[in-house]
């Protein structure tokens, strides 16, 4: 490979030195091909019988999938009779959601059935709830532990864009 590159470089110098100031189209085309050969990096070797171009394409696909906008979203939440604060949570599809929820008055629970979330916690206790928001839409979350007369109204909305 090095010998080929050296030979092409020498040929290029020879053509440029002998060409003078007047060039014809074929000489220019030959010079262009030589310069292209000198400046184009060699193709990567084949991988297990796969052409080198396919290996590069697979690498590009992997690189694209790692540049997603998924991130970890942490939310501090208060549960109290008869509301969650915040009552609306908005994340993006693929985000890992971490909710740090604390009850300020009585035992409560937090359930989001579509994401397999169902936790309960006592007054003053903080629990960490973690899940991946792997589907788009609007989902209700609610208190899953009877907490008084307004228990049925204790709910919120998770929005996954």
Whether residue 39 is found in the same domain as residue 91: no
Report the predicted TM-score, pTM, of the whole model to 2 decimal places: 0.57
* Residue 57 domain-assigned (yes or no): no
* Residue 131 domain-assigned (yes or no): yes
* Residue 52 domain-assigned (yes or no): no
* Residue 152 domain-assigned (yes or no): yes
pLDDT in tens, 96-114: 999 999 999 999 999 999 9
Q: Assign 3-class secondary structure to the chain.
A: CHHHHHHHHHHHHHHHHHCCCCCCHHHHHHHHHHHHHHHCCCCCCCECCECHHHHHHHHHHHHHHCCCCCCEEEEEEEEECCEEECCEEEECCCCEEEEEEEECCCCEEEEEHHHCEEEEECECCEEEEEEECCCCEEEEEECCCCCCCCHHHCEEEEEEC
pLDDT in tens, 20-55: 444 444 556 656 665 565 555 555 544 444 444 443
Total of domains in the chain: 2
* Residue 59 domain-assigned (yes or no): no
Tell me the residue range of the domain where 30 lies.
1-44
pLDDT of residue 153: 94
């Amino acid at each position: 490979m090095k010998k080929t590159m050296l030979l092409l470089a020498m040929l290029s110098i020879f053509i440029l030195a002998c060409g003078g100031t007047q060039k014809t189209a074929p000489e220019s085309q030959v010079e262009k091909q030589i310069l292209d050969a000198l400046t184009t990096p060699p193709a990567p070797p084949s991988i297990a019988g796969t052409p080198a171009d396919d290996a590069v394409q697979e690498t590009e696909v992997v690189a694209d999938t790692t540049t997603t906008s998924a991130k970890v979203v942490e939310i501090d939440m208060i549960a109290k009779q008869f509301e969650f604060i915040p009552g609306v949570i908005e994340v993006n599809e693929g985000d890992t959601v971490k909710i740090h929820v604390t009850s300020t008055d009585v035992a409560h629970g937090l359930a989001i059935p579509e994401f397999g979330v169902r936790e309960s916690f006592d007054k003053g206790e903080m629990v960490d709830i973690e899940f991946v928001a792997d589907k788009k839409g609007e989902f209700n979350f609610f208190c899953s532990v009877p907490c008084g007369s307004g228990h049925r109204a204790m709910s919120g909305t998770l929005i996954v864009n």
